[in-house]
Amino acid sequence: MPGDCDYIIVGAGSAGCVLAARLSADPRARVLLLEAGGPGTRREVRVPVAFPALFRTECDWNYETEPQRRLGGRRLYWPRGKMLGGSSSMNAMIYMRGNRHDYDGWRDRGNPGWGYDDVLPYFKRAENNERGADEFHGAGGPLHVADLRSPNPLSRAFVEAAAELGLPLNPDFNGAEQLGFGLHQVTQKHGKRMSAAAAYLAPAWSRRNLRVETLAPVTGVIVERGRAVGVKYVSGGDKSTREARAEREVVLCGGAINSPQLLMLSGIGPADHLRAHRIAVAADLPGVGRNLQDHPAADVQWSCRRPVSLATAETHWSFLQYALFRSGPLSSNVAEAGGFVGIRLTSRGPSFQLHFCPVLIRRHYQTRPERHGFSCCVTLLVTSSRGRVSLRSASPFDPPVINPRYLLDPGDWEVLRAGIRQMRELAATRPFAPFGIEEVTPGASARDAAALDDFLRARLETLYHPAGTCKMGCDPLAVVDAQLRVRGVEGLRVADASVMPVLVRGNTNAPVIMIAEKAADMIRRSGGS
């Protein structure tokens, strides 16, 4: 039976948009892109500071973890984008690649071609950095990378505070060195969000060989005689179940939660777990859903007397400034500045990351701040804790079981405490003095390790970076090989954050785009296995 297309791409998030654009650039290749969510046309997608308004809406998968034993039994909310562009349409737009040693570590774990020198050309190919091209950056690529148009005075004070303490300043976290403090570059163009959908999919939209269907959740991969030949999905138009056949390959780009879930629903995963849900086993891959990693973070907060924070971003003047010049508070990505600090002598690269936000944050930005202030997300970058994604049932419409198993390593607590103390040192410097600041959380009285640990148990959250659940490698738990081909099933690849063997030290959107750029080359070279 002839295929409906050459390639089926499941998920129109960052990776799926890249692959759809790159593969459909060949007019002979027929490409079908299926997205469970909608087109993502809400205004909040385009206006940078408004992204928290997309949380817990139809644009969000609205996931929740299992109770976390080390966090007082709390369930943590995990927002994930459910629209064209995926999480790149609702993230904080920080352009960050991670540390060069992260990628060299991938290579050294049995993944040739994934060292830093191997992946740098793909980062550069994707990038259109407004600072221009150099040894580390590209110009002319689809993804526009910009400096913030209107950094908040509090964000500038954060960088000046680091300088006063003698800490290194870093104008480019993606250049020769990652350590240090500075303002972030963002995936924006002319003050508007530059999602993967805007960067890659929109320019390819009119190609006759590319078909995009939204509101079309995929319910299973069709495997016949050991080969993926298509998918089953629900049509967004009439809600009927359909099949689509692929002549060459099926590529999963659902991310670290949805990709392993779909593999398991399709009979590809740990055999015992599949049989427990009465799913026929097509390939026994015990690593599917294992190796879940994330960056946990805790918000350390100060109030300030001067009314300069983003608490009053939505004024008539701000709207006018944004409408006329695409600048001002509405162009903020919220997490405007940051720093990378290393404290573990055994680890090459930083141990924790600071995300500085010139606004008081509560409940994932869902509670409007009642006063002015700032938050700093103290983020753990390296952990030995590993979690798991597993099936809740055999229904594709039931959310999976997500258990990140946060902070199992006592060393994780040590690093987070060090990050809190570092931010307190920064807040005590002269650049913050004119703002009249006062510590809100953990609170000035929380000084010893026990008090800080109580704060972490009560307030630790995700920084939205799940990865690793379909890891590449050559060990018994590897799900894909270095070509991103699913082991034991022909014609099937995974290309998203789930293939990371170890989570990068930094934000994950740019690395996922790089993975997809590299995957597109692999698929083209193979001719579609």
Within 8 A by CB and 6+ apart from 320, the residues are none
Reference 51, options 25, 20, 81, 78; nearest CA is 81
Beta partners for residue 252, in sequence order: 10, 494
Within 8 A by CB and 6+ apart from 50, the residues are 43, 44, 330
Beta partners for residue 467, in sequence order: 293
The DSSP symbol for 67 reads: P
Do the beta carbons of residue 258 and residue 502 sit within 8 Å?
no
Greatest distance between any 2 Cα atoms in the chain: 72
Active site residue 465: yes
The CA-to-CA distance between both ends of the chain, in Å, stands at 17
Residues 204 and 347: their CA atoms lie apart, in Å, by 42
Beta partners for residue 302, in sequence order: 374, 439
Residues 251 and 262: their CA atoms lie apart, in Å, by 12
Do the beta carbons of residue 340 and residue 179 sit within 8 Å?
yes
Residues 183 and 151: their CA atoms lie apart, in Å, by 8
Residues 246 and 474: their CA atoms lie apart, in Å, by 27
Three-state SS at 46: helix
Write a three-state SS string for 315-364.
CHHHHHHHHHHCCCHHHCCCCCEEEEECCCCCCCCCCEEEEEECCCCCCC
Residues 34 and 245: their CA atoms lie apart, in Å, by 13
Reference 492, options 242, 235, 259, 293; nearest CA is 259
Residue 470 neighbours by CB distance under 10 Å: 34
Three-state SS at 192: strand
Residues 453 and 364: their CA atoms lie apart, in Å, by 21
Residue 125 one-letter amino acid: R
Reference 115, options 129, 99, 126, 127; nearest CA is 99
Alpha helices in 428-487 (DSSP H): 449-459
Write a three-state SS string for 85-122.
CHHHHCCCCECCCCCHHHHHHHHHCCCCCCCHHHHHHH
What angle do helix axes 509-526 and 14-23 make, rounded to 10 degrees? 30
The DSSP symbol for 31 reads: E
CA 216 to chain centre: 22
Residues annotated as part of the active site: 465
